[in-house]
Amino acid sequence: MLNPTSGEAMPRCIVLGRFQPFHLGHAGLVQAAVEHAAGDEVVVAIGSAQAGWEANNPWTAEERQGMIEAWAAEQGLTLTVVTVDDINDPPNWVEHATDAHGTGTLVTSDGPTMDLYRAAGWDVHEVALSERETLEGWRVRQTVRMLSTVMDDEASRTVLAPSVPSAIIEWLIDNDAMFRCSTFETGVHAG
């Protein structure tokens, strides 16, 4: 697709994350990708696709895709969602992930991911971190874990609203997907 004013190709953008769960920081990245793509395709690549039903990865790739699609529908966005299994091999990660998400411009706020993709010759659009203390995945999971024992949908909506999009909160409630967080013993966090 060409930009009608400059004749330059518009970028196909990729947003990569685990999305455990999809929170407002992720929503901001996807919105930045939509703006940067200027009408071209936006691909959301779900990492750690093989993981699920564990403390740091409580939701499966299919469930995370359901969350993302619920949010995109609420926003009126058309996204391509793909999954990428971990290979635990950073030097070969970009080539491995590219097989799943294709080429384009990576849109991210994660420094190590930027470094890997830039070293592989990728164009990277950096998005500044916003509200990092509130929007860390482990913090959101701990909040969901606490709420899973309360069993009060309205309280869940109120407490999660500062960090999780409403469509995701409703997805978690409708799919009874918060309860499983209470089944994991965890004192360790991962992003």
3-class DSSP state of 29 = helix
Express as a percent the part of the chain with pLDDT over 90. Answer: 69
Average pLDDT over residues 173-186: 77
3-state helix, strand, coil in the chain (%, to 5): 45, 15, 40
Q: What is the CATH number of domain 13-183?
A: 3.40.50.620
Average pLDDT over residues 151-167: 94
- The per-residue pLDDT for range 77-111, each reduced to its tens digit, is 999 999 999 999 988 999 999 999 999 999 999 99
Site of tokens 């691909």: 43
**Predicted pLDDT of residue 10:** 58
**Predicted pLDDT of residue 138:** 87
Site of tokens 């990245």: 29
Q: What is the pTM of this model?
A: 0.87
**Predicted pLDDT of residue 185:** 55
**Predicted pLDDT of residue 189:** 45
What's the pLDDT band for 137 if we cut at 50, 70, 90?
Answer: confident
Report how far residue 103's alpha carbon sits from residue 38's, in angstroms, rounded to the nearest whole number. 16
Report how far residue 67's alpha carbon sits from residue 36's, in angstroms, rounded to the nearest whole number. 23
Which of 191 and 93 is assigned the larger pLDDT?
93
Report whether 32 contacts 26 (CB < 8 A).
Answer: no
- The per-residue pLDDT for range 75-85, each reduced to its tens digit, is 999 999 999 99
**Three-state secondary structure of 138-176:** HHHHHHHHHHHCCCCHHHHHHHHCCCCCHHHHHHHHHCC
Verify cis geometry, omega within 30 degrees of 0, for the bond prior to 11. no
- The per-residue pLDDT for range 34-69, each reduced to its tens digit, is 999 998 999 999 999 999 888 889 999 999 999 999
What does the domain layout of the chain look like in residue ranges? 13-183
